[in-house]
Every structure is written in C-alpha cells, then in structure tokens.
Chains A and B, each alone.
Chain A
C-alpha cells in the first residue's frame, strides 16, 4: 500500500492547488453552499488525480464531475492543463465497458450451461437450503448498498467491488484527516488574528 503520509501530502498539495485555481479570490461567491461544494469537489478531484486513473472509483468520480453541467467548469479549472490525459482515461466511459463485460460474461455462461452434464448433488435438508438462500439474499442486499456507496460501483463484479472499496476507504480516511487538520489550523489562525 502506498505510504499514508506521502499520500496525504500529495493530496494536500493538489487540493490547495485546485482551490487556488478555482479563482475564488476574484469571484464573490458568498453562498456557503457554493463554497462547500467547491471545497468538496476540489478535494475529490485532487484525490482522484493522485490515483492517476488506476482505480475505477477515481475514474468514475472524474467522469461524474465532468458530466454535471454545474460542476463541469469548476472541474476543468481545477484539474488544470495536465488533466487532458486524465480526462481521456476517465472519459472512455467506464460504465459502458463494464456493462459490456458483464453482458459478455452472461452470454458465456448461458452457452456453457447448455452443455453441462447433470452432476448428482447430495440433497441438503430443507432447512439448510432455505437458510442458505436467506443468507445469500442478505449478502446480495448489502452488496447492492455498497455498490451505491462507492462511486462507479454499480458496474463492477463482486471481486473488483471489494478491491475498490478497500482503496476507497483508504482514500476517505486520508481525506478526512487532511481536511480536519486544515480546518483546525485555519480556525486557530482566524482566532488568533481576531
């Protein structure tokens, strides 16, 4: 795993750069919600760019950001000139690719199953069977919830979903730590200057 402290430093650098590029000093955006959105967006994009398009969730984040009309301009500004390669990587529309992959897997399964021999299974008692199906349904429900949480998760199969979750959790932790630190630092500075 990447060393967490270097990850955080990289994230911090990119985040500050992105915020500065937002050009907030010029505009008078007094609304708190706008500022909050800008901060969150720049943080997300900074983190996504540190992954350099290697993980699915980072690509999905960038793709989502560039798709919304309101955040598109901000995103382009924040990502800056070196973003061209990143945007190309993320704009290859991961959902289409992933759904294509899933569809081809289904076709393969269907073609294979037509030739499968009947294997004599040892029949389990009814209780065990229903317990198994209940457990499976529970797990399936939770997997769907997780897919909705992780960006770009709807199009992944189970195995890659778990890997993406691992990465995403590491990223969220780093982001929370950095933002917390910056928030406390700015508050103290404000307090002192008042």
Chain B
C-alpha cells in the first residue's frame, strides 16, 4: 500500500528508477514550499507563478481539489529539472505547482520532522500523517549517490526553516492535521513571532491573495510596475480607468457627430475589403487622441508610443485606407459643440500642433 501511495502522490516517471525520483522530488517540493513560506510579504515573488496566469485561472487553481492533481504527475519531470537549476526564488510557471503545494504541505510538515534526525536533533512532533510518508524518507536514505551537493544546500535551508518554524511548528501541524480533510486551501505557515490563531492566519492569506492580484493589475496598467505601495498603485489604476472611460465617451461623441445616420456608412465602410492598412494611418489618428490622457504633461515623447502600440493591431483588420485627409476630419470635428472638457483641451493642443 505504501509504495502505491508514494507513487500516487508523486506521479509516474517511467524512464527513471522510481525510488530515486520520488525521494528527489519530495525534497524539491519541500524546498519550494519552504521558499514559498519564508518569502516576506512585500516581495511577493512567491506568487510569480500565479502572476503568469490570469486572475480567474489563478483563483480556480487556488481552490481546486488536490485529488484532481493526480493527473498532473506527468509534468513532474520537466518541472523538477528546471527547478533544480534555479537557485533563486522564482517559480517556473506550472499549474500543477499550486495543486501539489496544497497536497504536499501536509506531507511537508510531517516529513520534515522525519528527515531532520539526519542533520539535527529536532524532536519529531510527528502526527498521524507520518506513516503515509514513511516511504519517502526511506527512499531518500537509500539514495546516497545522486546530488549530494544539492542535499547539503537543502539541509542548510531546512535548518534555517526549522529555526524559524520551531515556535509555530506544533500549531501549524495541528492545523494541518485538521485541514487535511479540507485540502483545497493553500497552507500558510506562521512565521516566527507572529500570532498563530486562525484569524490572523486567515487575514494573512487574504492579504497575500490581494497582493497577488495587485501585482497582476500592476503589470496590466502601463507605468505601474515601478511604483511601490498599494495606495499609489491604486491611484494609477483609477486614473487609467477614468481616462479609458473618458476616451470611450469622446469616441462615441465623435462617431455620433460624424454619422448623420448610424447604419448608412457602415455598409460602405465594411464593403471595402482590401490590403493591409497603411502604417502611418492609424497612429497619426491615434496620437491626437492620446493627448487627452496627458493633458498637463502634453509632451511630444508620447507621440511616438502610440505608433508602436497600434501598428500591431493592423493585421487584424486588413483594410486599405488613405491617409492624406487625416488632419482635416479632426478640424471638422472641433467645430461641433462638445460638452466634454477634454475636447476643448484636445482642440487647443491640436491647434498648437498645426
């Protein structure tokens, strides 16, 4: 039964001998999990894996049942090889990581106490989970030859972690025993000197979730990645959303002004299917519109950016346009009465340009 459980837990690695593989992988996973726990919250690099996934997927992964992770076993091999070479704290982006972290945290807590007699004399506060993972330590002992160097690295890290985790080892282990039945949650280990009751742990989990999503937002909104601090990042996000909404208003006003009747021009517009758009077409149209975003900075450097941004969009549309009449439609637009403030700013800047 126990070899079966070990192989179930670690997935199938057909080409390598199994005991060696399971021992190695258990050490790696513990290591990764330990790195996950001990990274301070400001440096949310532990969620780098999550960041490469969209928010909704990340949510699903965090809450998915680990029993479905049995199928993730095939990904172990490439994952283990890449994580082995990385000495730093970033995770390779792997969905199965999250699932395995949820699964292995229970084992990690228990197995850690089991391995420690090798290096230090930490008493093993063993729980009922130990007999499940007895095969893993036995197999690591029977695996002396491969990668002793990595073993010493891991042992050093484990000592460090044990020092930190000693205070709360009991509590988190008890909690992990209770939570063994509710495995869908990612386990968080309490750090040294922090309160370990369920409220602060839940609070911390919530805060880490929020931080992960804020990082995603930071990457989406341009110019936010350099800013540190939640309040300033939120400021930028709010500005961005407001400017996008204003742009939508402006554009719908513009469209309403241009067309006396809504549908009459659409047929003629979309009837002209042709070659690809000319490059200078859209960017020159875009750059006057970008100015309302930065009405007070209003510098010419922003002029260049829209060219690159919108040049990417052209292969999608595949239409041919002429560009010699571009500035004049803007002038004709300005004569329409518009209530938006940014429209008047827009017109001022355009006159400046011309």
Contacts and interface: CB of A to CB of B under 8 A. Distances in A.
Interface of A: 1, 5, 8-9, 16, 19-20, 22, 24-25, 32-33, 35-36, 38-40, 43, 112, 116-117, 119, 121-122, 135, 138-139, 142-143, 145-146, 149-150, 158-159, 162-163, 165-170, 172-173, 175-177, 179-193
B285 A19 contact: no
A70 B257 CA distance: 21
A142 B248 CA distance: 23
Interface string B166-202: 0000000000000000000000000001010101100
B241 A117 contact: no
B48 interface: no
A166 B269 contact: no
Interface residues of B, number: 70
Contacts of B43: none
B262 A189 contact: no
Those 10 A-B pairs whose CB atoms lie nearest each other, nearest first: A35-B256, A172-B244, A36-B256, A142-B234, A24-B262, A187-B329, A179-B251, A40-B252, A162-B213, A138-B231
A171 B223 CA distance: 19
Nearest to B330: A187
Contacts of B305: none
A24 B265 CA distance: 12
Contacts of A192: 322, 325
B245 A116 contact: no
A106 to B, nearest CB: 15
Contact of B244 (A40, A176, A190): A176
Contacts of B199: 112, 116
B55 A162 contact: yes
Contacts of B326: 188
Interface centre among A32, A121, A170, A189 (most CB of B within 10 A): A189
A121 B194 CA distance: 8
22 contacts: A5-B313, A19-B266, A22-B262, A25-B261, A112-B199, A138-B231, A139-B234, A142-B238, A143-B234, A149-B242, A149-B245, A159-B209, A165-B217, A166-B55, A166-B216, A169-B221, A180-B251, A185-B319, A186-B259, A187-B329, A188-B325, A191-B325
Given A39-B262, A139-B234, 19 more contacts: A16-B266, A32-B257, A43-B248, A119-B195, A166-B213, A166-B217, A166-B220, A169-B240, A177-B313, A181-B313, A183-B251, A184-B329, A188-B321, A188-B322, A188-B326, A188-B329, A189-B265, A189-B268, A190-B329
A150 B322 CA distance: 38
B95 to A, nearest CB: 15
Interface string B228-260: 001100110110111011011101111111110
B254 A169 contact: no
Contacts of B317: 181
Nearest to A36: B256
B316 interface: yes
B253 A185 contact: no
Overall SS of chain A's interface: helix
Interface centre among B55, B252, B261 (most CB of A within 10 A): B252
Contacts of B234: 139, 142-143, 146
Overall SS of chain B's interface: helix
A8 B313 CA distance: 10
A181 B217 contact: no
B336 interface: yes
B294 interface: no
A165 B210 CA distance: 13
Contacts of B316: 5, 8-9
Given A25-B261, A186-B259, A186-B269, A149 B238 contact: yes
A37 to B, nearest CB: 8
Nearest to A8: B316
Interface centre among A43, A122, A179 (most CB of B within 10 A): A179
Interface string B265-289: 1101110100000000110011001
B28 to A, nearest CB: 30
Contact of B263 (A20, A162, A173): A20
A42 B23 CA distance: 60
B252 A36 contact: yes
A32 B256 contact: yes
B214 interface: yes
Contacts of B14: none
B265 A186 contact: yes
A19 B217 contact: no
Given A138-B231, A158-B210, A184 B197 contact: no
B54 interface: yes
B354 interface: no
